[in-house]
Chains A and B, each alone.
Chain A
Amino acid sequence: MNTAQLYLKRFSPSGISVPALGRFALSALIPMLGLVVFLAIWHLGAQRIDTSLGTFPGPGEVASQWSNLVDEHRTERAREAAFYERQEVRNAEVLAQDPDAEIRWREFRGRPTFFDQMFTSLWTVLSGFLLATLIAVPLGIMIGLSQTLYRAINPVIQIFKPVSPLAWLPLVTLVVSAVYVSSDPMFSRSFLVSMITVTLCSLWPTLINTAVGVTSVSQDLQNVSRVLRLNWFTHVVKIVLPSAIPMIFTGLRLSLGIAWMVLIAAEMLAQNPGLGKFVWDEFQNGSSSSLGRICVAVLVIGFIGFLLDRAMLFIQRFASWDKSAILR
């Protein structure tokens, strides 16, 4: 099956083939080995790098910073619970004295912890990605179906596709502050700015892949549709969409990857809540633990990106009609 196994087979004294258990152990062992080698290089390399904030953190330091961040989060949650408990007791007392008294309910305003920032980022990226999908898939289907529309929109796509999120950000910020004026806003402005920037940057892969998927519907199936005189809607739902599903998902996975990268950059630059801001704050903070905490953030960002991609793959398996297709 692979080289390592062949060697094992060759050198096993009795000449018996590697049993299934051994094969499983091997398949788990090799990625583990890769990880161990990486950690070793990191550990050795980190010791040699002296920064203005001290030695570059190795795996051990990063692990301890991770548990620090978990502890901070727990403490903050405990404070929040205590705050609300005190408030309830106080309100109950006020009501006991005067049943008609006006009760004021205060929100807890603690410092957002690492995990709060993480959920803010996740929520923002998913909203931005969802909005991008809602725009890109229908638009992609339309430009895939109409050559004229495609020619009309293509120049715009080609020009805006390579634009960096950092270039969009000032424009989006100004436009949102000008347009989104409300005394009781449903969303915070920073959320909208991050989300719209994510949308603008992650729109393109889905749009282009959907259009290509739609144009590549087989001629035979189009002929079937014509002979049956399917109306436009049935044609799209029964023939075009199922044909284009694999391409649409390729686009969606690219888009989600871009969305996540763009979001971190946007949060950093615009100081909008999220993991990007966490990294920036730690960088500005400049304490001896900062580098370790940034490393935690880097690893978590990578891990979330990986999970998002796996989630898309899972949805693709569920949505695709071709269960035999190999997805990776």
Chain B
Amino acid sequence: MAKVHLELSDVGMTFPTPKGPFCALQNINLKIAKGEFVSLIGHSGCGKSTVLNIVAGLHQATQGGVLLNGKEVDAPGPERAVVFQNHSLLPWLSTYQNVELAVRQVFGRSRSRAEMRDWILHNLELVQMGHALDKRPSEISGGMKQRVGIARALAMEPEVLLMDEPFGALDALTRAHLQDSLMDIQATLGNTVIMITHDVDEAVLLSDRVVMMTNGPSASIGEILDVGIERPRDRLALAEDRRYNDCRTAVLRFLYEKHKKVEPLAPRRKASAEPTAKAGSA
């Protein structure tokens, strides 16, 4: 593997609760190379977002830590830009102003006004949002908002791009479209990306490696899958590809066989709960 860029070293997270400490994560060890695209996949509640927030610096790990270029991460910063699940654009600012806020903050001292303007426009063009500069978030669709969120993150020129289910709330067609855009952008810029997803196809299509997490409490990394399909990838061609389907099967098997999660079902739908499923595996 190439030189280690980002390292999660024995990361663990324990939350204090009224019933005593709750261990959400433990023994998370992961080394990520520069330019690598890694997805985190696992059932809901397994602590994927917590891992991402620790890398972002929004949460502090109670054990271990995160190293970026050999330096410990202890606070949030623009070199680890986050694309939030629900876009998190400021509703009172236009598309342009939302990106401008980030650009001013990062490049306010080093670039002239004209350069910053060009850079904002460039990033909005990159996500094909150049036509809606003066629109407020409430005036554009969910997919467009998410694109602006990505443009805002990219405009910070981050070393690591952290994405928390960026396309989770979108319809399938918009999602496919944005996945293709993201692959193009990442191929051009070569950002290191960590993406959380629930979607097996998305994980396999986009990632170099898929990190599969076990169920909480005390969630950890279960398996890591090397996708190893050359880029650029084409979703239509891959649909027939044996390696792609093997990868999908491996992830599916992990999620639905080895680490099946049994959600407590509502009483009126209890008919579908099989008794054997309760055993699960942990």
A residues with a Cβ closer than 8 A to B are 220-221, 223-224, 226-230, 234, 238-239, 242, 321-322, 324
Which one, A223, A228, A324, contacts B105 given CB within 8 A? A228
Contact partners of A238 in chain B: CB under 8 A: 90, 93, 101
Q: Are A322 and B77 in contact (CB under 8 A)?
A: no
Assess whether A224 is in contact with B92, with CB atoms less than 8 Å apart.
Answer: no
CB distance from A147 to the nearest CB of B (A): 18
Q: How far is the CA of A224 from the CA of B91 in the complex (A)?
A: 13
- Cα A16 to Cα B138 with chains together (Å): 39
Q: How far is the CA of A228 from the CA of B106 in the complex (A)?
A: 8
Chain A residues in 8 Å Cβ range of B82 = 223, 227
- Which chain B residues numbered 79 to 93 have a C-beta less than 8 Å away from chain A? 80-82, 84, 86, 88, 90-93
Of the candidates A229, A242, A324, the one whose C-beta lies within 8 Å of that of B77 is A229
Question: At the interface, yes or no: B41 with Cβ under 8 Å from chain A?
Answer: no
Closest to A321 in B: B92
A188 to B117, CA, bound (A): 54
B58 within 8 A of partner (CB):
yes
In the complex, are the beta carbons of A227 and B76 less than 8 A apart?
Answer: yes
- Do the beta carbons of A227 and B81 come within 8 Å of each other? yes
Which of A221, A227, A324 is packed against the most chain B CB atoms within 10 Å? A227
CA–CA, A132 to B208, complex, Å? 60
A selection of 24 A-B contacts at a CB cut-off of 8 Å is A220-B88, A223-B58, A223-B76, A223-B82, A223-B88, A224-B88, A224-B90, A226-B57, A226-B58, A226-B75, A227-B56, A227-B77, A227-B80, A227-B82, A228-B105, A228-B106, A228-B156, A229-B78, A234-B105, A238-B90, A238-B101, A242-B90, A242-B92, A322-B92
Check A229 against B90 for contact (C-beta < 8 Å).
no
Closest to B92 in A: A321
Question: What residues on B are CB-neighbors of A221 within 8 Å?
Answer: 88, 90
Q: Which of B58, B78, B84, B92 contacts A228 (CB 8 A)?
A: B78
| B102 beta carbon closer than 8 Å to chain A | yes
**Residues on B with beta carbons closer than 8 Å to the beta carbon of A230:** 105
Max chain B C-beta neighbours (<10 A), residue from A223, A239, A242, A324: A223
Q: In the complex, which of the residues A220, A229, A234, A242 contacts B86, with contact meaning CB atoms closer than 8 Å?
A: A220
Q: Using CB atoms and an 8 Å cutoff, list the residues of chain B in contact with chain A.
A: 56-58, 75-78, 80-82, 84, 86, 88, 90-93, 101-102, 105-106, 136, 138, 156
List residues of chain B with CB within 8 A of the CB of A234: 105
**Measured between alpha carbons, how far is A227 from B138 in the docked complex, in Å?**
23
By secondary structure, the A interface counts as helix
Nearest-neighbor residue (CB-CB) of B58 within chain A: A223
- Chain A nearest CB from B93 CB (Å) reads 8
**Alpha-carbon separation in the docked complex, A227 to B78 (Å):** 6
Q: With A221-B90, A224-B88 given, name 19 new contacts (CB 8 A).
A: A220-B84, A220-B86, A220-B88, A224-B84, A224-B90, A226-B75, A227-B58, A227-B76, A227-B77, A227-B78, A228-B105, A228-B106, A228-B156, A229-B77, A229-B105, A238-B90, A239-B90, A242-B90, A242-B92
Residues of B within 8 A of A224 (CB): 84, 88, 90
Bound state CA distance, A324 and B137, in angstroms?
A: 13
Residues of A contacting B76 with CB < 8 Å?
Answer: 223, 226-227, 229
Q: Which residues of B contact A227 (CB under 8 A)?
A: 56, 58, 76-78, 80-82
Please, how many angstroms separate the alpha-carbon atoms of A324 and B80 in the complex? 35
Q: Which residues of B contact A220 (CB under 8 A)?
A: 84, 86, 88
A212 CA to B138 CA, complexed, in Å: 24
Q: Determine the residue in chain A with the shortest Cβ distance to B77.
A: A229
- Structural contact, A321 and B91, CB atoms closer than 8 A: yes
Residues of A within 8 A of B57 (CB): 226
State how many angstroms separate the Cβ of B152 from the closest Cβ of chain A.
9
Nearest A-chain residue to B102, judged by Cβ? A228
Expressed in whole angstroms, the Cα–Cα distance for A223 and B75 within the complex equals: 11
List of A residues within 8 angstroms of B101 by Cβ: 228, 238
Distance in Å from the Cβ of B50 to the closest Cβ of chain A?
13
Return B11 CB to nearest CB of chain A, in Å: 19
Chain B residues closer than 8 Å to A242, beta-carbon distance: 90, 92
Instruction: Please report the C-alpha to C-alpha distance between residue A324 and residue B136 in the assembled complex, in whole angstroms.
Output: 12
Chain A proximity of B98: nearest CB distance (Å): 9
How many angstroms between the C-alpha atoms of A312 and B77 in the bound complex? Answer: 40
Cβ contacts under 8 Å, B138 to chain A:
322, 324
**Nearest CB in chain A: distance from B133 CB, A:** 17
In the bound complex, CA of A201 to CA of B105 (Å): 41
Q: Which residues of A lie under 8 Å from residue B81 when comparing CB positions?
A: 227
Report the minimal beta-carbon distance from B87 to chain A, rounded to whole angstroms: 9
Q: Could you tell me the distance between the alpha carbons of A239 and B101 in the complex, rounded to whole angstroms?
A: 11
Complex: chain B residue closest to A218, CB-CB: B88
Would you give the shortest CB distance from B225 to chain A, in whole angstroms? 29
Tell me the bound Cα distance from A230 to B106 in angstroms. 10
Cα A322 to Cα B90 in complex, Å, equals: 12
Q: Which residues of A contact B93 (CB under 8 A)?
A: 238
CA distance A230 to B81 in the complex (A): 14
A230 CA to B75 CA in the complex, in Å?
13
By Cβ-Cβ distance, the 4 closest A-B pairs, closest first, are A321-B92, A220-B88, A242-B92, A226-B76
